[in-house]
Amino acid sequence: MNEADIVRLLTRGHADPRALGFDDDVCVIDGDIVTSTDMLVEDVDFRLRTFSAGDVAHKALAVNLSDLAAAGAVPVGFTLALALPEARVEARWIEELATALRALAAVEGCALLGGDLSRTDGPIVIALSVFGKADRVLRRRVGSVGDRLCVSGELGAAAAGLAILERGVVGDEWARLRGKQRRPSPRVAHGRALAANEACLGAIDLSDGLAADLPRLLPEGLGAALDLSALPIAADTRRAAEMLGVDPVSLATSGGEDFELLCVLRAGAPVPAGFTAIGEIVRGAGTPLAAGFDHFVTPG
Amino acid sequence: MNEADIVRLLTRGHADPRALGFDDDVCVIDGDIVTSTDMLVEDVDFRLRTFSAGDVAHKALAVNLSDLAAAGAVPVGFTLALALPEARVEARWIEELATALRALAAVEGCALLGGDLSRTDGPIVIALSVFGKADRVLRRRVGSVGDRLCVSGELGAAAAGLAILERGVVGDEWARLRGKQRRPSPRVAHGRALAANEACLGAIDLSDGLAADLPRLLPEGLGAALDLSALPIAADTRRAAEMLGVDPVSLATSGGEDFELLCVLRAGAPVPAGFTAIGEIVRGAGTPLAAGFDHFVTPG
């Protein structure tokens, strides 16, 4: 079974108009209140060898805030469920986790509202639910032939950072890329601007990579003609790709965890500030890209 | 560190008037929308030897709905975060989990709104956030000397069921008690009735046992004079206690997981339907009870 099969099993028969399901990352609770849930598991989503407690905390909150950002929502609060192996986790580790959560929560105006603690004999698990308000929720499965695709920020940096951490490559020149992997910045302000932009038809955050997330943004049967030379890839990401012996465009399209926003804009609409135009919607499959990340398929 | 120490570390500096914290199980997101988060960890909260996938699913949703019930809220939906060890979990197991979630969700009018999946190499983890609406949220830390304490349903049955499951005691005569442990009934209707009852000052659900949860319900410095002979203990729970060689009153006060509601009523107010009067609030420590359950303290 892959992730989609499991989601199908779980959601079958749960017909509810508010239930955008597991495919859309944000769902509407009531009125303008939306929520997103994301779980990080040690040794799947992070390793204690390369992630401090502060990195784990920041990333857990950031990936959830990224889902709110993609919906155009303003964060209001979050709850925290934490499974801790008491034999391996000390007070100082929890303190650092708490400090980093507090720091990002303060920046984003997002209060810790409550939660649940459990001990475990297995990996650390941190599951957050974040809540936000959205006058207009940006959805997926939007756009038609000729509409523009734009992406915020830059692509491939988080994947380059992961490879650098996993291979233990040292050197300050890669510090920014390590930071992109450990402490992504949720694009909350960009998402709010998109929600206020009438030309924006919908958006998604790039958690699993452009190749995996783009098909989730577009309606069935439509694809994207991408200008791969236009993909925003930073100079240090290109240098890292060369050092790692990988194609920088593959990092940008398949690496994942950039947590940038990918949006659909009506044909002819201007590119929003902080975004880069990367292509347009076409009938059919569009530009072929290598596969993205699936939690239940181990790379060969 | 015990659970309270960890919660103190996590919540320090997160001053928000809506944040009832980890101590109160329900928090207010916005307006009348409340939420609760609870996480179940395999081999801490359940074992696959004694819990089917349906039991795990039912209990995970029920314990969260119980928190909403204690707040007097009406459930509207939930999200699900699930960490699955792919090597140990088959499609049939997930299907049974999905079916049981759907069944309880349908009974309680509570839709699956979305969620997140992850693989894990460790124990199964299931974390739910449930959402509800409450015109009036029933709080904790309420009451004064002379006010009444009442409890819904019965006590000790879930703890008796746990002991029967853990010791592998067979026999249909214990089927009801096993069911109380595996598939608790959240007291949603009882909670709504309490919220509509002006004489009810506040409530808590009994997840960790009367001994642990009673002090969380009462204001600092106040205790409860309990009539231990009045505790509602069913005949089969008493028979099980005898068979197990334990005191039925200890099961009722320290066993936990009954998910009944304990409420404070103004002195002289009538006992609500489905509740039993068990004592009244006094100054000081009140009736001594054995300790309840702490996730981070292993029983000696």
What is the set of domains in chain A, with CATH numbers? 3-133 (3.30.1330.10), 148-283 (3.90.650.10)
What pLDDT sits at residue B197?
98
Considering chain A, what is the average pLDDT of its residues? 91
What pLDDT sits at residue A1?
72
- Residue A110 CA to its chain's centroid (Å): 18
Is 60 exceeded by the pLDDT of residue B296? Answer: no
Is 90 exceeded by the pLDDT of residue B79? Answer: yes
> In this prediction, what percent of chain B has a pLDDT beyond 90?
81
| Per-residue pLDDT reduced to its tens digit, B232-255 | 999 999 999 999 999 999 999 998
Chain B residues with CB-CB distance to A41 below 8 A: 83, 118-120, 122, 125
Is 80 exceeded by the pLDDT of residue B190? Answer: yes
Instruction: Give the one of B1, B21, B116 whose C-beta lies nearest to A39's C-beta.
Output: B116
Instruction: Pick the closest to residue B152 from B25, B271, B250, B293 (CA basis).
Output: B271
Does the interface predicted TM-score (ipTM) exceed 0.90? no
Instruction: Pick the closest to residue B47 from B13, B76, B104, B88 (CA basis).
Output: B88
Mutate to test the interface with A, among B26, B37, B97, B110 (most CBs of A within 10 A): B37
Is 70 exceeded by the pLDDT of residue B30? Answer: yes
- The alpha-carbon gap from B234 to the nearest alpha carbon of chain A, in Å, equals 30
| Amino acid identity for residue A179 in this structure | G
Helix (H) or strand (E) holding B163: helix B157-166
What pLDDT sits at residue A23?
60
| Amino acid identity for residue A66 in this structure | S
Helix (H) or strand (E) holding A240: helix A235-244
| Per-residue pLDDT reduced to its tens digit, A281-294 | 999 989 998 765 55
**Mean pLDDT within B214-233:** 96
Q: Which of A191-195, A223-227, A253-257 has the lowest mean pLDDT?
A: A253-257
| Per-residue pLDDT reduced to its tens digit, B35-44 | 999 999 999 9
pLDDT category at B298 given cuts 50, 70, 90 is very low
Tell me the longest C-alpha to C-alpha distance in chain B: 58
Any B CB within 8 A of A14 CB? yes
Tell me the pTM. Answer: 0.88
Any B CB within 8 A of A70 CB? no
User: What separation, in Å, do the N-terminal and C-terminal C-alpha atoms of chain A show?
Assistant: 16
Instruction: Pick the closest to residue A205 from A101, A63, A104 (CA basis).
Output: A63
Q: Which of A47-56, A290-299, B2-11 has the lowest mean pLDDT?
A: A290-299
Is 80 exceeded by the pLDDT of residue B1? Answer: no
Is 70 exceeded by the pLDDT of residue A120? Answer: yes
> In this prediction, what percent of chain A has a pLDDT beyond 90?
81
Regarding beta strands A33-41 and A125-133, do their DSSP bridges make them parallel or antiparallel, or are they unpaired? antiparallel
8 A C-beta contact, residue A259 and residue A184: yes
Mutate to test the interface with B, among A79, A80, A95 (most CBs of B within 10 A): A79
What pLDDT sits at residue B292?
55
Instruction: Give the one of A20, A81, A84 whose C-beta lies nearest to B127's C-beta.
Output: A81
| Between A19 and B218, the higher pLDDT residue | B218
**Mean pLDDT within B187-202:** 98
| Per-residue pLDDT reduced to its tens digit, B143-178 | 999 999 999 999 999 999 999 999 999 999 999 999
What's the token pair of residue A60?
């857990």
What pLDDT sits at residue B92?
93
What's the token pair of residue B148?
């009444």
Q: Could you tell me which residues come within 8 angstroms of residue A132 by beta carbon, excluding any fewer than 6 positions away?
A: A26, A33, A34, A35, A36, A68, A71, A73, A74, A75, A76
What pLDDT sits at residue B12?
75
pLDDT category at B300 given cuts 50, 70, 90 is very low
> Sign of torsion, CA B115 B119 B124 B125?
negative
**SS3 state at A281:** strand
- Determine, for residues B295 and A117 on separate chains, whether the beta-carbon distance falls below 8 Å: yes
Instruction: Give the one of B114, B295, B296 whose C-beta lies nearest to A27's C-beta.
Output: B114
What pLDDT sits at residue B299?
40
What's the token pair of residue A99?
């400090």
